[in-house]
Amino acid sequence: MIDNTKFLLDNRPIIERLYCHPDFIVCKPQNNRYFSLSHKRYGVKLRLDFRTIMLKGAVIGYRHVEINISPHYHKNNYQHNGDDFTPLQAIKSIKDVLCYLNIKESEYSYLKVVNLEFGVNIILHDDIKNIMNGLYYHNKDQFIIPDERYIYSKRSDTTKYKQIKVYAKGIQFATNPGYRIDPNTLRFEVKSKESKYIRTQKIYTALDLLNVFKYEKFADTLLLEWERVLVINLISKTRKEHNSEYWSNLITNEKRNIFRDNKIKYYDGLIRHDNIHLQVKLKLIDKIYQLLNNAISTQKTTINPGFLINDTTSTKEINVENAYLHRCIITGIDISSQKKGSKFLRETTLRDIKINDSDLFQELSSRYLTDHGKQQSDERKIYLICKNIRDVDSNKRNCRKSFEKRNYNANQLQFCFRT
């Protein structure tokens, strides 16, 4: 799940040790305040940037070093990141790289995480080009193509605090069939260059990236960020929502929630197989639970993880119906903190969401509150949202019972036909 990662280190003995590493060569620095080294074989995928201390135009030392690593590429001998990458594999790769750099385990706490990328690869049934072309917005931030050479690689047009990146990995590596990457492979990724955001993931030093339970937070974040994506099915029946200007006009509309409300209305109006957003969401849930399942369970045993999962072991794909064991069956939100057997989002969890994720709380309010409900107190809103979420399930069952009562004789429903 972990991709490009940057550590900041200001421990002088370790800086000197890295500076003298024999496998690095001088490369172009990011700016004139740095002296940079890249690996002589793997290039910038393994790079050291030393922040210089100047005196009268001469370098007299280094304030800190920024260590850039690519754990997923490391696992694949620095060729690609288009396959599955489990938390245990990520932990192993990080340890391997740090060991290679002669950084001891007792020194891991000196490595502050200042850049972080995490994501997953999924294989889609639909044409990936249609999906990439239909990616319009994340929240109200437009998806852009940062490099015209790669028209099927997009990211949200935001600051370095947080970026959402979506790649057509199968197209990116189409000229390398030996990598065996399915042509319809999509990578969904979150990237941040801000410590403030990285701390929201409970990540501070390299030690945190070696804790398998931290990866559950990455999983939750990926699912949450996909919920905020607007992706249009451009090959479905022609409709006004296909026009990107329709959405940009909604963003500039003076009504605060009109963009979000119309996005929800668009998704709700689609037939299931036409709803690309839902199809990708289900694939993400399956993939994330597949990656996490063995990693988390092995930490609760004394069995050597090497016997349970390795590069050649393929874990059984988890059906999305089973993935709901720890998620609200209506919203898909993580409810693992609730009582065992809970099926719906409860008030306690929603209060935490209101405090820690105001955007998600607003989305839930928009979807599950009436105009009258939106005028109530916060505590009343929380009660109504949870009640209305439960009602989504109960109303379906009650409507079915009413339908049967209207259309069938009571005795008819006693027969059980088998084929």
For the cut 70, the answer to whether the pLDDT of residue 343 exceeds it is yes
Residue 48 contacts residue 66 (beta carbons within 8 Å): yes
- On whether residue 307 sits in a domain, the answer given is no
In this structure, the answer to whether residues 352 and 268 fall within a common structural domain is no
For the cut 80, the answer to whether the pLDDT of residue 403 exceeds it is no
For the cut 70, the answer to whether the pLDDT of residue 122 exceeds it is yes
The amino acid present at 258, given as its one-letter code, is I
- On whether residue 290 sits in a domain, the answer given is no
For the cut 60, the answer to whether the pLDDT of residue 143 exceeds it is yes
In this structure, the answer to whether residues 253 and 359 fall within a common structural domain is no
Pairing relationship of beta strands 229-231 and 135-138 according to DSSP bridges: antiparallel
- Which residues on adjacent β-strands are paired with residue 117? 191
Which pair of tokens denotes residue 314?
């393929």
Domain end residue (candidates: 273, 305, 338):
273
Residue 198 contacts residue 114 (beta carbons within 8 Å): yes
The pLDDT tens digits of the residues spanning 227-241 come to 999 999 998 776 889
pLDDT for 315 = 37
In this structure, the answer to whether residues 195 and 99 fall within a common structural domain is yes
For 154-175, what is the mean pLDDT? 92
Domain extent at residue 16: 2-273
Domain end residue (candidates: 247, 273, 299):
273
Domain end residue (candidates: 273, 297, 330):
273
Confidence of residue 32 (pLDDT cuts 50, 70, 90): very high
For the cut 50, the answer to whether the pLDDT of residue 322 exceeds it is no
pLDDT for 357 = 83
The amino acid present at 387, given as its one-letter code, is K
Task: Please state, as a whole number, how many other Cβ atoms lie within 10 Å of the Cβ of residue 263.
Answer: 23
In this structure, the answer to whether residues 356 and 256 fall within a common structural domain is no
What is the share, in percent, of the chain residues with pLDDT greater than 90? 63
What is the share, in percent, of the chain residues with pLDDT greater than 70? 86
pLDDT for 31 = 93
pLDDT for 397 = 59
pLDDT for 330 = 85
The pLDDT tens digits of the residues spanning 178-215 come to 999 999 999 999 999 998 999 999 999 999 999 999 99
- On whether residue 92 sits in a domain, the answer given is yes
Task: Please state, as a whole number, how many other Cβ atoms lie within 10 Å of the Cβ of residue 356.
Answer: 10
For the cut 60, the answer to whether the pLDDT of residue 414 exceeds it is no
**7-16, 62-71, 196-205, 410-419: least confidently modelled range:** 410-419
Per-residue DSSP letters for 86-123? Answer: -HHHHHHHHHHHHHHTT--GGGGGG-EEEEEEEEEEEE
In this structure, the answer to whether residues 351 and 265 fall within a common structural domain is no
pLDDT for 399 = 53
- On whether residue 293 sits in a domain, the answer given is no
In this structure, the answer to whether residues 45 and 172 fall within a common structural domain is yes
**Count of domains observed in the chain:** 2
Measure the CA–CA gap between 38 and 45, rounded to whole angstroms.
8
Measure the CA–CA gap between 109 and 130, rounded to whole angstroms.
45
In this structure, the answer to whether residues 257 and 396 fall within a common structural domain is no
- Which residues on adjacent β-strands are paired with residue 54? 59
pLDDT for 56 = 87
- On whether residue 286 sits in a domain, the answer given is no
- On whether residue 281 sits in a domain, the answer given is no
pTM for this structure?
0.72
Measure the CA–CA gap between 62 and 107, rounded to whole angstroms.
19
Q: Which of 284, 62, 50, 332 is nearest to 166 (CA)?
A: 284
For the cut 50, the answer to whether the pLDDT of residue 418 exceeds it is no
- On whether residue 413 sits in a domain, the answer given is no
- On whether residue 219 sits in a domain, the answer given is yes
Query: How many C-alpha atoms does 8 have within 13 Å on its Cβ side?
Result: 12
Task: Please state, as a whole number, how many other Cβ atoms lie within 10 Å of the Cβ of residue 388.
Answer: 17
In this structure, the answer to whether residues 247 and 358 fall within a common structural domain is no
Mean of per-residue pLDDT scores for the chain: 86
